[in-house]
Structure 1
Amino acid sequence: MNPIDQAGMALPATPASLATEYRALALMYTAQGLPTGLAFHALGTLMRQGGHGVAEVGLVGLAFLPWALKFLWAAPVDNACARWGHARVVGVTQALAVLACLALIALPPSQGLHATLAAVLALNTLAATQDIATNAYAVARLQGRSAGPANAIQVAGFIAGMLVGGGGLLMVVDRWGWQAAMGGMAALMLALYLPLALYLPLALDTRWASASPNRAAPGGGDRPPPARLRDLRRHSDLAWALMLALVFKFASTAVETLAQPWLVDRGLSLSQIGLLQTLKLLATAAGGVLLGIALVRRLGNRRAVAFSCALATALLGTTWAMELLDVRNLPLLCLAFGMESVAAGAMYVAIWALFMNWASPERPGTDYTAMQCCESLANAAAAGAIGSLGASQGYGWAFAAAWAAGLAVLLLIWAALPRIRLQQDAPR
């Protein structure tokens, strides 16, 4: 999407301005990925290593709740961004996130599990709130042909944050302890905001974008119409979009959650698991950037989603096969998880490029965030269910059940795609 002038006419985007917007996006998504990596890629391993049971690992699903419920406060954040600017909203949430990281120094999971979970939940609530502002910024400015690169940046930025907050944090904990890891995360959150404080105001102040001439820039003469959650009903295909967002990552989240205690029970050390998590995240980023963008550009949104979801589902059975064959060799584990992660990264870029082009420019943060919440709600359910299933039936049956669920999900995705209407489908 290009910016508009006061008459509502599109203005050309320049490579320099796009580069500024892409840098701002990368920094925001990286900052939001740090708490996500802690919650989803490190905490389960640390809980198991600290003596907690496999069933208790399912409590990690609580950290999904802010990401699942942020639609409840998405419209107020959307309106705050329109009134005061994205830079201020992002700055406040970033400062509070730094304080939350400092509070976690005194709350190692091996001592007070519930207190640690509460603090991680608060940290992820702040990250989820900032994500609403980031979504509004991305959708309002980068719909259309820029959606593929923008969502590749989202995936790569989030993964960079999860890499450090997940596998990287495990390696730091293993060598220097929990306190050093949390202090380092606080410092990194602050360091990420310093360049963001330059890039984000520059992009917003010089090139405010909106698809509607009625939605004025912050500080402009006309106050924009408020975003409202109930206006989601204006989408005639809302039921299909909600279903797609709910199901597409359910099975892969179940496998990823159960894989954390499974790797501990394979006999891997924290450093080895951290290395594996790092390689998985790098493979996911590579799949998103190298394969996901190419699929969206060559196949279009819908066919890119259909193909990438089929590939990711086919490789989802990798973990079940490794359990069946009793694979314990670290290089083989890295290769198997790496292949699975490349496909997952491509799927993620294709899915979120589709939802970016589906979201209404009148409610950029609200529409896009609502779809993300559906994914997170399903993630929470998957994480909670797979822990109980793994504890009662064993790893083999649990991984097999997750793969079977993935095959059923693929059929639902194929049914939904022809019924999803994108903004470029609308008559001009």
Structure 2
Amino acid sequence: MNAKYAVLAMLYFVQGIPYGLQSGLLPIYFRTLGLSFTKISLSKVLYVPWVLKVLWAPLVDQYFSKRSWLLFTLYGFVLTCLACSLMAPETNFFPVAVVLLLMNFCASIQDVAVDAVAIQLLTQREIGYGNTIQVVSYKLGSTLAGGGLLTFLHHLGWQTLFVGLALVYVVAIGVTWNANLKLKVRFDPQHSWVRYRSLNPWILLQELLVVPDTLWTVGLVLLYKLGEQGAISMFPLFLLDHSFSPQELGFWNGIVAMIISIIGSSLGGYLMSKQGNPFSMLKALMVFRFFSLVFQTLLLVAYEDKKSVFEVAALLSIFLQHFIAGLVTTLTFSIMMQCAQKAQESLQATHYSLLATLEVLGKLVFSSLAGSLVDWLGFVGAFSVFLALSSTSVAYILSSSRR
């Protein structure tokens, strides 16, 4: 494998670990402690550094080397994992939440730096493969920290789990120190116009928004996960309340479903590398995803506990959702990177960070409210709302004449 692909894969892998912890392991763990769906959803507030990362993206773009930022965040991961290993979330979760917030802060900075490296290194022909590596490696890290650790948490214990993760980050530090990516010097931060721009966020925002296709891409990343995000996060909790154990969900939803999602992401990257234009494929997938959500909603209505036919159908619906989500995510991130490459070199990382921030914002705001919808309307009512929201992304992309 090309050395730059290997290093990018490693960096995206370790970046996915904090997300996996908080999206795969903690919701199931909280539910076993008896927390409401509303409180479980509100724990996603810990992702707020991802929403704010566009504020420090210009700093990563303009000061120090990308390697320095990567090493800074990796050391931060080591310290936060070791701090978590000394805590007991079952007795007092607040200190754990603070440390996880710091972990997300490090991950958001690392995301800007890694994306900047990827944008600079990848050619137009390599974007499909590069985004496959990005999505797949991130999901592998998420799977390890989510479903994998949830499955074995009762064997490993909380302390051993986080000490092991700290060792993973120590290895990543060694790889980053020795990586030779041959990055270009993109511009001189001593120029007064650079410093002026960095101190004027409105001027910076104007420069970002005039990049071709930016406004359309902003609409896409805000809408494309609506509906899907609520279904993917809430359906496993529905199964937890209907005869599935945490260990079963850790395996089927946290490991098997993520492997299927990775297969979908890999297929998306392959198709992207062959066709070069993800837009037409994305149109068809949005429609197909809507009907898969219809099937899952009907399954909620008819579901009966401890009947194999419904359990199998439920798992198949999860697998289908994750497969489509993997395809859609890779194609959407390819569109985002293509858009960012149209910006000036000195703006590319910040431009991509803006799009990625809005992508996270679109997912975070809705997923934080999904639990409240379930508590308020019940699962069937909430999934009806998910369907309505999913139809907006379908209408948006079908009505577009962008390509």
TM-score, length-normalised on structure 1?
0.84
Per-residue deviation, residues 357-416 of structure 1 (Å, max 9, x unmatched): 100233221111111111111222111211111011111211221122111221113334
The gaps in structure 2 that reach 5 residues or longer are: 199-203
How many equivalent residue pairs?
A: 388
> 1:256 is matched with which residue: 232, 240, 243?
232
- The corresponding residue for 2:257 is 280
CA distance in 2, matches of 1:44, 1:170: 10
Alignment of 1:169-318 (within 5 A): 169-199=149-179, 202-204=180-182, 208-209=183-184, 215-216=186-187, 225=194, 228=198, 229-230=204-205, 231-276=207-252, 277-295=254-272, 297-298=274-275, 300-318=277-295
Structure 1 runs, 4 residues or longer, greater than 3 Å off: 106-109, 221-229, 327-334
User: Structure 1 71/50 Cα, relative in aligned 2: closer, same or farther at 3 Å?
Assistant: same
Separation (CA, whole Å) in 1 of partners of 2:3 and 2:121 = 12
Question: Using the alignment, how far apart are the partners of 1:73 and 1:390 within structure 2?
Answer: 35
In 2 relative to 1, CA 363–398 (structure 1 residues): closer, same or farther, beyond 3 Å? same
Alpha-carbon deviation of 1:223? 11
Match of 1:55 in 2: 38
* CA distance, structure 2, for counterparts of residue 181 and residue 286 of structure 1: 27
* Length-normalised TM-score, structure 2: 0.89
Match of 1:324 in 2: 301
| Letter aligned with residue 161 of structure 1 | G
Change (3 A) 1:352 1:111: same
User: Is residue 374–residue 382 contact of structure 2 (8 Å, CA) maintained in 1?
Assistant: yes
CA offset at residue 267 of structure 1?
2.5
User: d(CA) in 1 for partners of 2:114 and 2:159?
Assistant: 30
Q: 1:45 aligns with which of 16, 28, 43?
A: 28
CA distance in 2, matches of 1:299, 1:400: 35
Matches within 5 A, 1:384-423: 384-416=368-400, 418-419=401-402
Q: Would the alpha carbon gap of residues 316 and 217 (structure 1) be closer, same or farther in structure 2, given more than 3 Å must change?
A: farther
Are the equivalent residues in 2 in contact too, given 1:65–1:376 (CA < 8 A)? no
Q: How does 1:158-169 map to 2 (within 5 A)?
A: 158-169=138-149
* Residue of 87, 95, 99 corresponding to 1:115: 95
Q: Is the 8 A contact 1:313 1:406 kept in 2?
A: yes
Give unpaired runs (5+ residues) of structure 1: 1-15, 421-428
The verdict on how the C-alpha distance between 1:341 and 1:224 changes in structure 2, with shifts beyond 3 A counting, is: farther
2:81–2:165: 8 Å Cα contact kept in structure 1? yes
SS of the aligned residue for 1:250 comes to coil
1:116-143 per-residue CA deviation (whole Å, 9 max, x = no partner) reads: 3222221111111100001101112214
Return the match for 1:150 from 95, 107, 130: 130
Contact 2:15–2:138 (CA under 8 A) maintained in structure 1: yes
Listed one character per residue, the Cα deviations across residues 245-286 of structure 1 (whole Å, up to 9, x for unaligned) are 111112221122223422321232222111021111111111
